[in-house]
Amino acid sequence: MVTVVDKDLLALQEMRTAVQAAKSAQQVYMNFTQEQVDQVVKAVADAAFAESARLGKMAAEETGMGVAEHKKIKNEVGSRDVYESIKDLKTVGIVGEDKVNKVVEIAAPFGVIAGIIPTTNPTSTAFFKTLIALKTRNAIVVSPHPYAVKCTQEALRVCEEAAVAAGAPKGLVQCLTMASMEATQQLMKHPNINLILATGGGALVKAAYSSGKPAYGVGPGNVPVYIERTAKIDKAVENIVNSKSFDYGTICATEQAMVVDRNVAELVTRALKKNGAYILSDEEKLIMEKVISPIPGKVNPKIVGKSPQAIAQLAGISLPAGIRIIVGMETKVGKDVPFSLEKLSPVFAMYIAADLAHAKELCMSLLNLGGMGHSLSIHTETDAIAREFAVEMPVSRILVNTMSSVGAVGGTTGLMPSMTLGCGTFGGNITSDNVSAKHLLNIKRMAYGIKEVNLPKLGEVTPQEEDVTDQVVASVLHSLGSNDSVDPNVVKDLVSEIVKQLSK
């Protein structure tokens, strides 16, 4: 007799067991002191950092995306840099006090966090979400991408073992292993899940927002980069090519389209070729468009995170040695224009802008196509123009004279190190921040009374009513002239009664 195993049922049971274990562990962990929490977080960050290279290689091999050495750097940002940014944050007990206004702030954990992990950054995002959850006395249950289960599970095993060795209760860090969409959907709706941290495609983020639970989700990042006429061209192009080729374009903040001022277009073209860019001919571009987007509006998943050589091979194009990115000259923006889409690969569109106004118009069109609220990059030596873009563009991050991919996640800038970048209400998100530990805290406030409010007794005439009464009485007596038969006190009583009735 053959026994048929229902994988979806097994996946659902695994999920329910994981949530229960995480909840039980979190009930213990929420009683830890700040010192105990910080000891756990440091141990996890150190262990994750030490395994950055091994897990970077594992992620690249399992997903078939990106560059192992670059994933190592992302793992280091997701462990060491994230730790450095949150290590001094108070997350236990009283975390703030306004002695003048007598308001005391107390931190409380959310409970159990559901962490949804993308295939593009599977191990670095797992490190990051685990660290910010543990720092805030939360437990985390992670649902990995189906194409990155093993590397994500291994990253979380490293975190869990380090946490337990540092004194944390067993079960705080959980990973689902059966790659079931149904289990992931039910995880987000589970009554013991208190918050969802969703990093992934639009459909997944929409599901998180539709779950009925509080959720931090992120939108797509169709990032334009403007090379303004005063930019240091050689340095700007070097940064852009380094950024676009980093991990084969899998960071959502990677530049997707260059907008180049016409006055420096020739200089930019020369610098691109010098830095390993291959500029397609008109004929090659037509072929490449079909590879990028066989179905209008949809990017071919076979190009995501792949090398320029592998992508060119799909188009039947042979690339010279040393090519790092592929560039197609473009003039239009739209769902039916493949080069204008978010490609998550080392494939670039290049637009020529007639002037500053035209550059803004092109950038806005690209953002409207799919990157609203995310990020924009600009290279310029004119600070006023950078500020002008920062004020006018509907994005949450404006990266100036740096690699957008690494800069947006805090690697080359002073932004908060994070692998989950909010797009604000521009992109349908609740926050425009780089999500971090502070977003996983409830802050309770104890407030002492510092002001007195004088409430009138029922039937008592207030000072304001007294003033109105006196004014009316004076007016009545004045109109009656010197009539001695009128008693002023009687008039006052009558007016007071009328004022009371009107104020009820």
Q: What is the pLDDT of residues 436-487, one digit of tens each?
A: 999 999 999 999 999 999 888 876 656 666 666 666 666 655 666 655 566 7
- pLDDT per residue over 98-122, tens digit each? 999 999 999 999 999 999 999 999 9
Catalytic residue flag (residue 252):
yes
Residue 489 burial (C-beta neighbours within 10 Å; 0-12, 13-18, 19+): exposed
Mean pLDDT of all residues belonging to the chain: 92
State mean pLDDT over 184-200: 94
Share of the chain residues as helix, strand and coil, in percent rounded to the nearest 5 = 50, 15, 35
User: Cβ distance 346 to 325 under 8 Å?
Assistant: yes
219, pLDDT greater than 80: no
Domains 7-218+437-446 and 223-420 share a fold: no
Q: Provide the pLDDT for residue 504.
A: 57
Q: Provide the pLDDT for residue 467.
A: 67
- pLDDT per residue over 330-362, tens digit each? 999 999 999 999 999 999 999 999 999 999 999
1, pLDDT greater than 60: no
Which element (helix H / strand E) includes 153? helix 149-165
Which element (helix H / strand E) includes 245? helix 233-245
Does the CA dihedral 82-83-84-86 come out positive or negative? positive
Class of the CATH domain delimited by 7-218+437-446 = alpha beta
Rounded percentage of the chain residues whose pLDDT exceeds 70 = 90
* Sequence spans of domains, the chain: 7-218+437-446, 223-420, 463-503
202, pLDDT greater than 90: no
2, pLDDT greater than 60: no
Query: How does DSSP assign 447-458, residue by residue?
Result: E-------PPPT
Angle value at C-alpha 307, between 406 and 326, nearest 5 degrees: 85
- pLDDT per residue over 416-429, tens digit each? 999 999 999 999 89
- According to the per-residue pLDDT averaged within each range, which of 74-78, 203-207, 320-324 is highest? 74-78
pLDDT class of 282 with cuts at 50, 70, 90: very high
Angle value at C-alpha 313, between 280 and 298, nearest 5 degrees: 75
pTM: 0.88
Angle value at C-alpha 157, between 86 and 50, nearest 5 degrees: 60
Rounded percentage of the chain residues whose pLDDT exceeds 90 = 83
State mean pLDDT over 432-436: 97
Angle between helices 68-76 and 52-63 (to 10 degrees): 130
Distance of CA 34 to the CA centre of its chain: 26
CA distance 181 to 76: 29
Q: What is the 3-state secondary structure (H, E, C) of 79-136?
A: HHHHHHHHCCCCCCEEEEEECCCCEEEEEEECCEEEEECCCCCHHHHHHHHHHHHHHC
CA distance 45 to 317: 44
CB contact set of 50 (below 8 Å; sequence gap of 6+):
none
For β-strands 255-261 and 347-353, DSSP reports them as: parallel
CA distance 484 to 148: 100
For β-strands 103-109 and 441-447, DSSP reports them as: antiparallel
The least confident of 7-11, 272-276, 286-290 is 7-11
- pLDDT per residue over 42-54, tens digit each? 999 999 999 999 9
Query: What CATH number has the domain spanning 223-420?
Result: 3.40.309.10
pLDDT class of 220 with cuts at 50, 70, 90: confident
> What count of other Cβ atoms lies within 10 Å of the Cβ of residue 357?
9
Task: Choose, from 159, 175, 252, 363, the residue flagged as catalytic.
Answer: 252
4, pLDDT greater than 60: no
Which element (helix H / strand E) includes 419? none
Of 26, 199, 51, nearest in space to 111 by CA? 26
- pLDDT per residue over 53-67, tens digit each? 999 999 999 999 999
Distance of CA 356 to the CA centre of its chain: 29
285, pLDDT greater than 60: yes
170, pLDDT greater than 70: yes
State mean pLDDT over 73-82: 97
